[in-house]
């Protein structure tokens, strides 16, 4: 295909183009905003690095948030099961009756020892004779009760572990959120250091209007579900980038992919790193409309191939969902869902 080389989107500054499609990615320590403004090219390069760091942190946030959601569901299920199990145990205790209950509470103490420690040996012998008459069915029920109580204790311990992990995930979500917000705030501060004309030029490069849509005439998706996902992604053109969002009014890069395929009845993982393994990987030379294109070695950005060398994606704050050349950044993988 003619677009395998790295392309630079028209209207983009070449020094900034490698990261102008960016926003989901890990919180590398990049240092504070310099007290003295650097030359304009350095300022714009630093803005791009901050956007890339914010993109990595966004995907880390998405992963932690997804884990927290999963744990909340697991904890809720465990609590429901524990409640049902406790109710079952209570019913079993009632059905065993007072004698069988007394036998259970004795903890299976050896009869000779129980007699030795009894305050009233005659009373104990009378009860022992009665206990000997407990039916085999009641003895089985007693074993079942003991087993149920052991299971309940184990389930409670597991639920406590999940609750602790949930709390750790909540803290991780908060940490990644603060990292994203810090990087974006630093980027905005640096942009404000640029002269107004250069800032306006940068802003123009950061937005793609509806008037410059690529020609996709004759392009067809290879399957019905790919066609539905492509149509959904196309309907999101112009929607704002909102980090951590999965639509329908705003998206981050992996959120747009997840939402678009959900409209086709396909459930994708939440993060770009997981989405790259959500189907069969194919060579870039065989890319087709609807394929997911992951960028950078860490797959911290993702877009959807639309045909004629174009992807649609949610780039970064201030840049709405738009088309860009598939070669806008180094491609790490192509996945056919």
Segment 96-149, tens digit of pLDDT:
655 455 555 555 544 544 544 455 656 655 655 555 555 555 666 667 777 777
Q: Quick check: 310 and 324 in contact, CB under 8 A? A: yes
Strand partners, 322: 313
Distance CA 320, CA 315 (A): 7
Q: Show the tokens assigned to 75.
A: 């904890």
Domains for the chain: give ranges and CATH numbers.
57-202 (1.10.287), 208-336 (3.90.1720.10)
- How much of the chain, in percent, has pLDDT values that exceed 70? 70
> Active-site residues: which are they?
253, 301, 313
Higher pLDDT, 17 or 315: 315
What's the token pair of residue 23?
Answer: 């926003």
- Mean pLDDT computed over 28-56: 60
Determine which of 46-50, 125-129, 132-136, 317-321 has the lowest per-residue pLDDT on average: 132-136
Give tens-digit pLDDT for 208-251: 444 467 778 788 899 999 999 999 999 999 999 888 899 999 99
Per DSSP, the three-state class of 89 is helix
Joined tokens for residue 334:
């192509």
C-alpha span between 56 and 12 (Å, rounded): 22
CA distances in angstroms from 214 to 10, 208, 236, listed in the order given = 12, 11, 15
Q: What is the pTM of this model?
A: 0.56
DSSP 11-55: T--TTTGGGTT---B------PPPSSPPPHHHHHHHHHHHHHHHH
């Amino acid at each position: 295909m003619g677009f395998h080389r790295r392309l630079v989107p028209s209207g983009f500054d070449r020094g900034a183009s490698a990261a102008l499609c960016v926003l989901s990615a890990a919180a590398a320590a990049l240092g504070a905003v310099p007290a003295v403004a650097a030359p304009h090219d350095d300022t714009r390069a630093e803005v791009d690095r901050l956007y890339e760091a914010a993109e990595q942190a966004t995907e880390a946030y998405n992963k932690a948030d997804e884990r927290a959601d999963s744990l909340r569901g697991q904890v809720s299920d465990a609590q429901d099961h524990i409640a049902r199990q406790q109710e079952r145990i209570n019913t079993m205790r009632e059905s065993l009756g007072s004698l069988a209950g007394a036998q259970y509470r004795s903890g299976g103490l050896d009869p000779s020892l129980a007699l030795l420690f009894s305050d009233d040996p005659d009373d104990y012998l009378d009860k022992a004779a009665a206990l000997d008459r407990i039916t085999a069915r009641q003895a089985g029920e007693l074993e079942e009760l003991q087993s149920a109580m052991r299971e309940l204790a184990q389930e409670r311990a597991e639920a406590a572990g999940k609750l602790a992990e949930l709390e750790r995930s909540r803290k991780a979500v908060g940490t990644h959120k603060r990292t994203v917000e810090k990087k974006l705030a630093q980027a905005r501060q640096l942009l404000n250091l640029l002269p107004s004309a250069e800032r306006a030029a940068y802003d123009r490069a950061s937005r793609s209007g509806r008037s410059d849509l690529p020609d996709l005439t004759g392009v067809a998706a290879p399957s019905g579900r790919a066609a539905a996902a492509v149509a959904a992604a196309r309907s999101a053109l112009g929607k704002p980038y909102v980090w951590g969002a999965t639509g329908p009014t705003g998206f981050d890069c992996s959120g747009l992919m997840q939402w678009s395929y959900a409209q086709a009845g396909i459930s994708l993982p939440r993060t770009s790193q997981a989405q790259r393994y959500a189907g069969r990987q194919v060579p870039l030379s065989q890319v087709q409309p609807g394929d997911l294109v992951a960028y950078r070695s860490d797959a911290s950005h993702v877009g959807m191939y639309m045909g004629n060398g174009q992807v649609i994606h949610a780039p970064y704050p201030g840049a709405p969902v738009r088309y860009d050349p598939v070669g806008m950044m180094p491609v790490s993988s192509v996945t056919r869902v």
